[in-house]
Every structure is written in structure tokens, then in C-alpha cells.
Structure 1
């Protein structure tokens, strides 16, 4: 399926263009804010080629698509009519909850800071390369060449308040040039000179706080938040012919002084507080804090909460020039994802998992962990164990050796110059050692503990050769998928079933059309006609539930499927709903065989007779003993 086709399917299964109130993306995810969350079809989204995982939260539906997110975003935007469509969807009043409030705050943080990261990351790496050039003697820091080149990354951090003002204004749908002009006062050279002069400066007797706003982010956010309220208020009450100049004038009169006297110093204090919290945690727990953070990062990233660490990390780097905590823990985690995935690619016999693991491992080497995380780690407990082992071991070493990062970018091979310290060459060397520990420990643990037959991913790929089942300890029971009357297979009016050609089992004459899963496992087959479903159990038992005889001729009309191929199900979960009256009216027998299709490997004993309810014990299955040659 092409990107265009996948984008069309994604748009359809989030409820269409009219259900999207806002759409943006980060490095691997499409982030939808939907008018009606219930219209998002999570199961259908997961089946779309190119979609790695779907996370539906209180205010966002996240569709993880990996490295091609920019292309997918562009395709979806083109199909839905572009970003202007953000404002077309009707507003929906939702009941207040603290969870929803937290989700709204997180959505705002992500929307404001994610677009700024590329500029900060590029500037940070640029600066680290200048340090490297100086260290090896290519550039002398005292020369004009070095000083001039240094102004390029320094300008990004110096005017960071303007970058944040732009993204915040875009998120809040505020006049962007006006937002830039208002926040620009804080970094305007004449204003900075007045504030910094001896004795400071006052406006009508009120002293202005002496604050350097370069590289600050929170003063800009608070200013734009107030601007949003003021602009909307005056736009609503102002006479149309004078609105063009009167609304901006009132915004300047109200918001600029409020920013200079209150919001600017408050934002600076908030940034200082967050920076202190990050450094305080590190100062209190030391290397243990980094070790623990690295260990829990797989779980934090899986729900998108890692974005909450962006503001304090940016504030820390802006204030101190480095980050000894979050980015260092990320180095340990990112490279552990790579080591684990590459080890599993080496060990697995599943072609599908091998391809996924190689792709995810290479992406993680370069700092993008979502393909490995969602494609391998979170689906397999043994993979997760190896990642946590590598992350915590490397995190402990990096913390003990006090490694720090000097650029806000996801750590990986391409961005490794972020650990260059002009004053301490060992910072870079210890970062390399930490990288080697992360890859080495996670790789070794994964090689030792990995087993294909314990992998949910291998079962989902349907690779039976790779996922050879472990012997059953004792008997496995199938529960009745339907309510009705049990009859022997020999009484089924179909020679294929009655002769046991498709496997041993039993049949049910149903009284209710709800078909439940007879065993826990993975859905391996679901025909377009939706009249039959196959499940491979965790112990290798393969079960087929065939609703009615010759009902394939009905082309799916009386059936509604509630699962899809590769879905994991539990015993008793609803699989299909069948309209028994419609099947009977069409002249077909509703008798439903329940078969163990690989019964050559198992002994099958029918437990139930007479009338059964859905969920009652139906069949007992035990492993056959291998005959000696």
C-alpha cells in the first residue's frame, strides 16, 4: 500500500476530515485532536500498512508511523484540505476532568516545543562541531572566523523566545506577527540595554525586573497566553471598520506592560524552578536518578509522556549550557533499544520479525526509538527485559562518570558530537563507553534469553516454524464459543466436517449469534465472508470456528466481525456476531463446527453434552506423545 493509500485509510478511520480539530506530528507520530474520540477505530488503524501502533489518550489519538511521518502527515493534510481545516470542525463541550486537563496541557506543550526542537538540535550540534574543530586545532577560538561562525547557533538560542512565541501563537490561533512583536520587546537590544544599565530602569516609577530573557521559553508562552485572551475579547467587541488597528493597539497597551512587569519575571522564575528541579533531582540521587530514568524510559515513551521533559531540558541547557540528566538517560535507552533489536534479528527464525528488528535497531542507533519500541520491545517481555538491563547498566555508568549533553537532540550516532566538552575530553570518551555498555549489555541479554516460541510478535506474523509451540503441561480446555446444543461431528450434515478431514472437535446448534473466542491466542484467519475464524493458541493449538454450513455463499451479509487477523484475543472475547434468523431464512444450516485443525499433534476429548452456554467447558486437549523411531 502506498503512502497516499495509507493516509486515506488513516483519515477514514479517525472519523474523516470533519472529525479532526487539530493535526500535527513529531518525529514518528501523527497526533490527532479529534472532535469525537469515539469515531477513531483503533483496531482498523492498527491494520493499515505503515502504522506501527495506535495510542488513544484523553485528548489525542496518536498514530505511530515511524520515519516516514513527514510524508504521511503531508498526505493526510492534502486529503483533508490542509491545515486550514483545523478550524473548520465544530467545537464540542466536554465534561471537566483532571485527566482531560492534564492531557490538554500535554497537548499544548507538545504543540509548542516539538516544532522548535529541530532548530535547537541543529544549533546544538553546530556548536559542538565548532568545539570539535577547535579541539583538533582546525579553528582558533580567538579568530574572527570562529567568532562569526559561533553567532549562527548562538542566534537560535538568543532568539529562542521568538521561536516559542511563534509556535504558541500558531497553537492558540493568535495573530503571529503581533505575538512576535510583543515577545520581541524582551530580546530587543534597546530594552536589554536599559534594563542592564547601572541602577536599572523604571516606568512611571515602577522598577523593571533585571532579567536576561535570551534563551528563555516560559516568558514567551505566558505572554502569548494572555495575548490570546485579550485579542479574542477585543476582536469580539470591536466595531469591524476599526478592528484592524484597534485590536492590535489594545493588545500592545495591555499585554506588553503585563509581560514586562509580571509575566516576563514570572516566566523566568518558572524556568529557573524547573531547571532547579531537574538539577536538584540529579544532585540528590546522582547516578541513581539517571539509572532509574533510563530504565523507565521505554514505558514513558510508549504513552508519549517523554515530551513532558522537553521544556525543563531546554530550560536547563539554556541556563547552564548542558544537561546531565534526561538526555544522558536517553543515550542509555536509545542504544539499548538498538542492541536488543539487533540481537533479536540475529536470533529469530521469523523473517517478518527479523525485518522489523533490523529496521528498528538501525533507527534506534540514530536516536529514533519508536520503530524498535513498538515493533519489538513492548510486544515481547524478553526484549523489554534486555532493553531495561542495558539502559540501567549504561545509565549507572554515565551517571557515575558525570557525563553531560550539550545539545537538545535525541542521542544517537549522528548526533554524538552533542557530548563534546571543550573543558573535559573525558566527557566524550565516557559517553562512547556508555554507548558500548548499552549496546553490549542489551545485545548479550537478548541473545541469551530470547525464544521465538515465547514471542507474541512471531505468533502475530504467523511464522509457525519460528514459533514452534512448547509442550503443553497438562490439558488445555476450549470453552464453548456459542450457546446452544452440542452434537458430535459425525452428525454434521457436511462430509468434510463429519469425517474429521479438517480436524477433530465438536459441533454446536446455536441459539444465540454471539461467537466468542474458545481459547486465548492470536487470530490467524478471518475470511472476507466473516463466517469462519481461526485462532492459534499460546500452546500451539490451532482452532477453527465455522459458523453454519456453506455460509460462505452469503458473502458476509449476516455476519459482523469484531476482530481482525493478527489481533490478540482472550478466551470469551467476542469475535463475530451472526444473524441466525437471516442465515436460516436464506436456507442455510446454522450448525457450527468447532475444530482443532492440528489435532494430529493432540488428543481431543469432548467434555460437554446437551445444552451449553457460551463460555462453558467444551473440549479438552492434551499433547500426544511422540512415537520412538
Structure 2
């Protein structure tokens, strides 16, 4: 409740929706762009529980919240439809990156509904086979539209998620999707007679289960809504704006944008299927081998027009079959690591991740927590996936339902003439498990010896006031600066915690101790770490560098990853950051300072990488 209550108070104190142009957050602060700051009472905001301080900088009203900032931000988002754009642009994405980002961002929230519908389709295959359900019964028919509903009404769900992505009024976007799926329009399309709307020809296209048309349409609505916001007087805006948006957007949806999106989706499917028909076994081998990397980048959603319509009439012969080989390979690799490792913690994590991938097709725990971390198991899974993918291409394996492939979901491959297809799927699953397990066992995993003894080496009480303090080593080389001299009140006042700052002269940030990565901020300018002994450390590269939106920064690790002292964490192009006008002073903050007696900086003017810089008593 503390996040909700404080967020509500902050929302009210900064003027609510009418005064907030945009809001985002960095590692420690809520960053508002406000229309008017004149009437805001800074002191009242500082008195709100959880607020550590207030700053006005770079055209933003910044409220310092500490490590829990993301939780306050989530509650703020519930109070208004805010943009999260920052005041200065970051690295511009190319067209392909932007398309993948949009499709992935819009599709991700819909996965539970799609998986639920897909599993109902699996039940409709299994229950009649087991004699538990008659295909002519009303129960079967009702279950059929239960399973079909998430797919047929996909444009309506996408309209909502895309409206969040493009900052469009959600219910207006949903209304336009409703126009495209209206039963009267569907009936007119089914009749096949020419349709005209204000004299313009309407393409006879069906938008049920489509992806691209509605995403394009909601993107266009962003500009339509902005235009009418500017030109319509406030006194009549409440009723004329929605009227005009529905009329204009509905017209464009049926006459212009919808047909273009349909043709684009058909074109994408045709191109991929053409490549598959020409390359055959090679295409499936490559797809299955590189599926983990494709999933990591979100590129698999670019193929949504193909695999989302998987059905007995139009089975998927590319993505879902390739994912079968890849998913079970990830699970087998994780299980092999679990059995081979001597580390009890890794054994537990890898075992659970392997079961998740094999049984449910959820590969993220195995990929991010095991195979990618140790690399060799990932190579084993990719090699196995490639071999099985070649077999898939040769036998022409097909998926007849959209379900994330796994051992439990194998019935999605039941269909076609006879039992050949499901037998091939079983062969692929078994082969992928066996080959991956053997390769992972042969390749092995690199388990590094713990350096805890070095980390805990005692120093004199004269140095740190204790006979056994914990050390933090310098993640950067450069000049040492007392925290009080940092030109940012949030750090200099130590409201975030005690520590020290380094003005770096090298471009690589390395791990200051053995531990785990708690948070890599999306803009890569800051990283949160937790040592094996429980020290929580924030490394904030530069001041206000969140505004760069990741430009000139490269993250070399990810959330949840275990790290060893000296392991590279981030790379930063310091000259470019300075050219952009930013201070490169890098604070190192022990954010759980209150848990310790003292945090003492080593009394030096300069420090080299991996030399002791802080003692935690």
C-alpha cells in the first residue's frame, strides 16, 4: 500500500494529468516533464513517505525515491495515461529494430490469452481421441469458440496494447478495431459484393486474427488524435474529437491502412514461405539453431502473421516446428548442467529451469539463467537444434495449433494424413533432448573457484575502523572524489546512501566484488549489484546520463547474472558522453548503508581498476 498511497500523493501534488506532459524514471528518481512548475510546493512533496528529495534539472522535475523507484512508477502509471518519453533523444533505432520493438511490445501482454486459447485447442484434439468428448456435441462447439476467441479478437486486444505503445486513447483504438471486426462488415465481405464508403472502394479483407493492420492503424491514430487536439476548441472537444477520430480513423482503416496491413502481412508470410520452399531443410536447420537468439531479440514476433493462424487448414511449417527443437534443447541443456555441476545453488536453478522449458515451453529461465550464462550449454543446444531442424525440414513437420511447443504440447502436431506428423514430432523431441544432453555433458561448464577469501582479506583498523571490513574494489580507473563534492544533490547529500565517486579515465566498468547483478537499467547508464556478503551497490556512470537513452553505453551483463570481481559490466564512450554535455563523474553508492556501522572511502586521490576503494564495516 505504501507505493500506491505515496504515488497518489505525488500525482496530486504535481498537478495530476492536466499538468503532467510525461514521466519516466531512472535508477533512483521519478522524472516529470511538467507544463507548469510554478504552483508546486516542494516541501509538501518532500514530506510524502518514500520521497528522499526534489531536484529541478534538465527541464525536468525530479523526485528522488531510491531503489524502489520502479514500484512507485508502476503505481503512477495506473493513475494516468502518461507518455514515458524523455526530454532529449537517445540512439535512434533503424526501421527493422523499430518494427521488432513495436510488434514485441504489443504482443507480449497478450501471451497468456493466446496460450490459454491454444491449450483449449489442444484439449479439443485430445478429448475426442480419449473418448471423453463428442465432436458433434454442443460442449465441443462451445469449447471451440472458447479457443478461437483470443485469436479472432486479437486485433481488439492489440488495439489496446498498441494504444499504450503509441500513447493513443485506448477506447478509441479499440473502437476502430471493433469496426474492422463488426459482424455486419464481416457479412458484407463474405458476400463478396463490391463495397463503397463515401465513394471510396473498401477492400474485401477479413481482419480476424490479423496483427499488422491494427498496429499500423493505431500508429496512424497517434497523429490523427494529435491533429484534432490542436485544431478543435476546448469548449466542443469532448464530443467532436471522438466523433471525428472514429469517422476518419474508421475510413482509413477500411479503405487505406487495413488493406495495406493485410497485404504486408500476406507479403511477409509469402516471402518466408518462399524461402522455406526453396531452401527447405537448410532454412529449418538455421531457424531452429538460432531460435534462442531470435527469441532474445523479440524477432520471432515479426513472424506472427504466420504462426498465429496455425490450424488444420493452414498449419505452420516454420516457426513452431523450429521452436519444438529449440525449446526442448534448452530444457535438456539446463538439466545436464543441473546433474553435472557441483554447486548446489546452480543445481537447483538449472533443474527448475530445465523442467520449465521441457514441460511448459518457457525457456527464459533456462536461457538467461543457465545456458547463456555458461555459454557451452547454449552452443550444445544450438547445435542440437540445428541438427533436429534439418530433420524437421526434410520430413516437413507441421504444427496445427498455436501453442508454445513443449513435451506437454506435442498434441499440437497431431494432424494431416495418418500419424506420421506426430511421430516425427516425438522423434524430434527425443532426439533434441538426447543430443543436447550428450553435447552439454561433453562440452562441460566453466565453474570458477570462489574468490571469497580474497574479498574478505582483513585490513588494519587504522585503515577502516574495523579488524574485518568488507571490501569494494574500484570498478573504474580515475580520480577519486568525495561524495560531498558531486554536483548532484541526490548523491552529495547521501540521501541514497554513503560511498565515493570516481572521475573515470577508462571506458570499461568492471565488477567491484563477487556477487549478482540486481538491475541493469534499460538506458544502461547505471547498474545495481549485490555482493555475496549482502552489500548493495549502485554504480551510476555520469550525472543525468539517463537522458542519453542508452546512447554511448553498452551493457555486458544482464539482470540476475552472477559476476566475479573484475568481470566487465558496462562499456561507455566517455568522450562522446562529454561531447554531449554530460558530467562523467561516477558515484558508487552503498544503498543499504543503514545496515552497516560505517562506509569508509580509501584516502587516495587516484585509483586503478580493481584496487580497494571502499571499506564497509
Q: Does the residue aligned with 1:17 lie in a helix, a strand or coil?
A: strand
Superposed CA RMSD in Å reads: 4.7
Task: Verify the 8 A CA contact 1:394 1:438 in the aligned structure 2.
Answer: yes
Q: Does residue 346 in structure 1 map to residue 359 in structure 2? A: no
The 5 A counterparts of 1:260-409 are: 260-302=254-296, 304-314=297-307, 317=310, 321-365=314-358, 366-409=360-403
User: How far apart in 1 are the matches of 2:479 and 2:185?
Assistant: 77
Q: Does the residue aligned with 1:317 lie in a helix, a strand or coil?
A: coil
Q: Does residue 87 in structure 1 map to residue 100 in structure 2? A: no
Deviations 1:463-513 (A, max 9, x none): 99xxxxxxxxxxxxxxxxxxxxxxxxxxx999xxxxxxxxxxxxxxx9987
Aligned pair count reads 452
Task: Verify the 8 A CA contact 1:386 1:446 in the aligned structure 2.
Answer: yes
The CA deviation at 1:407 is 3.1
Counterpart of 2:563? 566
Relative to structure 1, the CA distance from residue 327 to residue 266 in structure 2 (aligned partners, 3 Å threshold; closer, same or farther) is same
The CA deviation at 1:174 is 2.0
User: Which of 184, 189, 192 is equivalent to 2:186?
Assistant: 192
User: How far apart in 1 are the matches of 2:270 and 2:251?
Assistant: 28
User: How far apart in 1 are the matches of 2:541 and 2:206?
Assistant: 62
Relative to structure 1, the CA distance from residue 241 to residue 150 in structure 2 (aligned partners, 3 Å threshold; closer, same or farther) is same
Higher mean C-alpha displacement, 172-181 vs 261-270: 172-181
Q: Does residue 135 in structure 1 map to residue 129 in structure 2? A: yes
Larger Rg: 1
The CA deviation at 1:83 is 3.5
The CA deviation at 1:516 is 11
The 5 A counterparts of 1:214-293 are: 214-293=208-287
User: How far apart in 1 are the matches of 2:25 and 2:191?
Assistant: 60
The CA deviation at 1:278 is 2.5
Counterpart of 2:550? none
Counterpart of 1:14? 27
User: Which of 68, 72, 76 is equivalent to 2:71?
Assistant: 76
- What is the TM-score of this pair, normalised by structure 2? 0.62
User: Which of 109, 114, 119 is equivalent to 1:115?
Assistant: 109
User: How far apart in 2 are the matches of 1:319 and 1:128?
Assistant: 12
Relative to structure 1, the CA distance from residue 347 to residue 114 in structure 2 (aligned partners, 3 Å threshold; closer, same or farther) is same
Relative to structure 1, the CA distance from residue 286 to residue 427 in structure 2 (aligned partners, 3 Å threshold; closer, same or farther) is same
- What is the TM-score of this pair, normalised by structure 1? 0.61
Structure 2 residue ranges without an equivalent (≥5): 5-23, 35-56, 58-65, 454-458, 462-476, 481-501, 516-534, 543-556, 572-585, 589-599, 610-617
Deviations 1:125-175 (A, max 9, x none): 212211222334433333433223212222332222222222212322222
User: How far apart in 1 are the matches of 2:321 and 2:399?
Assistant: 6
User: How far apart in 2 are the matches of 1:425 and 1:87?
Assistant: 53
Task: Verify the 8 A CA contact 1:17 1:80 in the aligned structure 2.
Answer: no
Structure 1 residue ranges without an equivalent (≥5): 5-10, 22-35, 37-44, 49-71, 465-491, 495-509, 527-554, 579-585, 593-612, 616-629
Relative to structure 1, the CA distance from residue 321 to residue 116 in structure 2 (aligned partners, 3 Å threshold; closer, same or farther) is farther
Q: Does residue 210 in structure 1 map to residue 207 in structure 2? A: no
Deviations 1:357-396 (A, max 9, x none): 2122122222122222222212323222221222122222
